[in-house]
Structure 1
Amino acid sequence: MADYSEKFYLVRSDILPEAMKKTLDVKAMLERGKAESIYEAVRDVGLSRSAYYKYKDAVYPFQTMVKEQIVTLFFHLEDQKGSLSNLLAVAAGFGCNVLTIHQTIPIQGKANVTLSLNTAGMTEEMNSLMQDMQGLSFVDNVEVLSSGA
């Protein structure tokens, strides 16, 4: 079976499942301040919270994806004081905007970190960012989990 995990498709809205359309409505309501919480927004559009969470990171308005360039990076780090802030400083130094951060609790002196970055404002090539991050003494490994525009 084909691996579709890192591919993007442009799909006409009239063939999207209703749950995906409603997820886009919920995201728009939250962004515009028309709802104060996810609960309120999903209730207003008639969508379950589980359906919203299933699709929220998978469906975007076309304009959003054209404007933003999102890259998700995975790091295996040594547990050292200030390592995460130093990693974020490198990203900021390249003009990236950090969208999300997920860090596991260190086990046996190692932690996993996943960063989602908006790279639209990058001042250099992605390869340079990756090399600089890999060159940090506390970074054991860095991988690109996803990228797209």
Structure 2
Amino acid sequence: MDKPKFLLVDTDVLPDVFLKVVYAKKMIAQGKAKSSSEAAKLAGISRSAFYKYKDCVQQYNSKMSDNIVTIYATLADEPGVLSSVISQLYTSGANILTLNQNIPVDSVAHVSISAKINSINCTEQELIMQIKGLTGVVEAKLLSGS
């Protein structure tokens, strides 16, 4: 039998230690615990339990992943083109999470942008069409999304 890398499991059937590790990680991230020792103590687990599971236990947020899109675009290597794409995303109500632009080759640069779209004022396809209509945008497509 092939062993899957990840499982989605209802927390009601998990040992409490996993939820406590997630809580301890949250306390560190929010600055409510200054160290992993303090976070483990706040969560009611041992430091060794925290270290054993901290890299393997993540909270799943289905609403977060449902509202994220990745857009791939080819842009002309001209001043202001990327800025106009970013402005269009802002105007549409998208919140950029990551942006990666490669060094231009043959006068075009490839860009991938991941954005939260739970507040956009148009459909995903309309957003892509708006981006495609911008000066200097050679191509734009939705790689992944809700």
User: TM-score when scaled to structure 1?
Assistant: 0.63
Distance 2:109 2:52 in 1: 36
- Helix, strand or coil for the counterpart of 2:83? helix
Q: CA deviation at 1:30?
A: 5.7
Distance 1:109 1:35 in 2: 49
Among 83, 87, 112, the residue aligned to 1:85: 83
Change in 2 beyond 3 A, CA 1:80/1:47? farther
Change in 2 beyond 3 A, CA 1:139/1:125? same
The residue type equivalent to 1:61 in the other structure is Y
The residue type equivalent to 2:124 in the other structure is M
In our comparison, the structure showing a higher alpha carbon Rg is 2
Distance 1:27 1:129 in 2: 36
The residue type equivalent to 1:141 in the other structure is E
User: TM-score when scaled to structure 2?
Assistant: 0.64
Give the 5 Å matches for 1:87-102: 87-102=85-100
Q: CA deviation at 1:124?
A: 1.5
Structure 1: segments with no counterpart, 5+ residues: 1-8, 16-21
The residue type equivalent to 2:82 in the other structure is L
The residue type equivalent to 1:98 in the other structure is I
> Taking every aligned residue pair, what percent have the same amino acid on both sides?
27
Distance 2:113 2:74 in 1: 12
Change in 2 beyond 3 A, CA 1:12/1:132? same
Q: How many residues align?
A: 123
Structure 2: segments with no counterpart, 5+ residues: 1-6, 15-20, 40-46
User: Could you tell me which residue of structure 1 aligns to residue 140 of structure 2?
Assistant: 142
Distance 2:105 2:85 in 1: 19
Q: CA deviation at 1:25?
A: 6.5
Among 35, 48, 66, the residue aligned to 2:63: 66
Distance 1:96 1:120 in 2: 7
Q: CA deviation at 1:140?
A: 1.5
Among 77, 82, 104, the residue aligned to 1:106: 104
RMSD over aligned Cα, in angstroms?
Answer: 3.5
2:81 and 2:135 in contact (8 A); partners too: no
Among 122, 125, 138, the residue aligned to 1:124: 122
